[in-house]
Amino acid sequence: MYLVSYNPFDPAAKSSPYQGAGPIFVHTTECEPYSDSEIPDQQKRRLLSVRAYDKEHMMIDADVLQGVGLDKKAKELLTDKNVEYIHTAIAAPLLPEISHYITTNDSTSKSTYLDAPNPPPIYGKRPNYRIDYIYSALGSATGPVLTDRADYKEHQQVSAIPPHILFPVEGASAACVVTYAPNPNNEDGFMHRTNTLDYVFIIDGEFELSLDSGEKRIMKKGDVCIQRASMHAWKNLNKTEIARFGAVCLGIEGAKVNEVIIPEKEKE
């Protein structure tokens, strides 16, 4: 495989200030071209820059979005009679993916695996982090209902239609894995809280966990934090390596699905 430079613009676009070459990979031997009419899954899992150009090769619209929204955005742009074509490009590096597995008991009471496509669905992704949705289960007076795989069936429905459940309602639970990109500029984290009781396990790297009181703790691989609906911010302390944690979130009294509260809203 070769890495070469390629200019996707028409030769007539030489006068456009936006034209320019970019890197592409080329196979050294003949390979099967992508022929599906759907957007490739690889693109759906990336943060993308989307740009629309007119007949004069001038950019007239642009956006940065999650790849899962590319199909809708492309159709929206191409309905504009002034848009001649669009270009997409990767807007952020790909963070290492994870795998997850789900077990159950079969009709003979032997343990077995259920279908759990990998990598797991993405709940949210920004240039500096990605959240992988792992599982969620509704609550009941006696806890999660596993009879007839009720919890798994609910999880499949949630997995199929974003936004996935990260912060559950009262009595329910959810699990996720959050991966932070390297932090070369030592940028601070986002202060927020959720109405959940969270069990957080540091999987890789080193975090600074800050509270709105000004208190801070350094958390390393293997450390655990119990987050009791408190205002907090996560910060990757490494300039060149990722940092990752896993969390199980339990909805407390009055919790609303995926509700995130920031300091300004807390004062209202």
Higher pLDDT, 37 or 66: 37
**173-208 tens-digit pLDDT:** 999 999 998 888 899 999 999 999 999 999 999 999
**230-253 tens-digit pLDDT:** 999 999 999 888 999 999 999 999
Determine the pLDDT at residue 81: 95
Residues found in the chain = 268
Determine the pLDDT at residue 36: 82
Please say if the pLDDT value at position 267 is more than 60.
Answer: no
Give me the mean pLDDT over the 2-24 stretch: 81
Q: Are 173 and 251 in contact (CB under 8 A)?
A: yes
Alpha-carbon distances, residue 62 vs 16, 45, 59, 74 (angstroms): 16, 19, 8, 11
Determine the pLDDT at residue 42: 74
Peptide bond preceding 163 in cis form (omega within 30 of 0):
yes
Q: Which two tokens stand for residue 119?
A: 């990598």
Q: Confidence class of residue 39 from pLDDT cuts 50, 70 and 90? A: confident
Please say if the pLDDT value at position 69 is more than 90.
Answer: no
Q: Minimum mean pLDDT among 17-26, 156-165, 171-180: which range?
A: 17-26
Determine the pLDDT at residue 104: 97
For residue 187, the 8-state DSSP code is -
Classify 157 as helix, strand or coil: helix
> How many contiguous H segments (helices) and E segments (strands) does the chain have?
4, 16
Q: Where along the chain do its domains lie?
A: 2-90, 102-266
Give me the mean pLDDT over the 65-86 stretch: 89
Determine the pLDDT at residue 210: 98
Q: How far apart are CA 66 and CA 90, in angstroms?
A: 10
For residue 174, the 8-state DSSP code is E
Q: Which of 179, 55, 57 is nearest to 123 (CA)?
A: 179
Classify 159 as helix, strand or coil: helix
Coarse DSSP helix, strand, coil percentages of the chain, rounded to the nearest 5 percent: 15, 40, 45
Please say if the pLDDT value at position 125 is more than 70.
Answer: no
Determine the pLDDT at residue 197: 98
Residues 6+ apart with CB under 8 A from 189: 208, 210, 233, 234, 235
Classify 266 as helix, strand or coil: helix
Q: Of the CATH numbers 3.30.70.920, 3.40.1160.10, 3.40.50.300, 2.60.120.10, which one belongs to the domain with range 102-266?
A: 2.60.120.10
Determine the pLDDT at residue 268: 54
Give me the mean pLDDT over the 80-105 stretch: 89
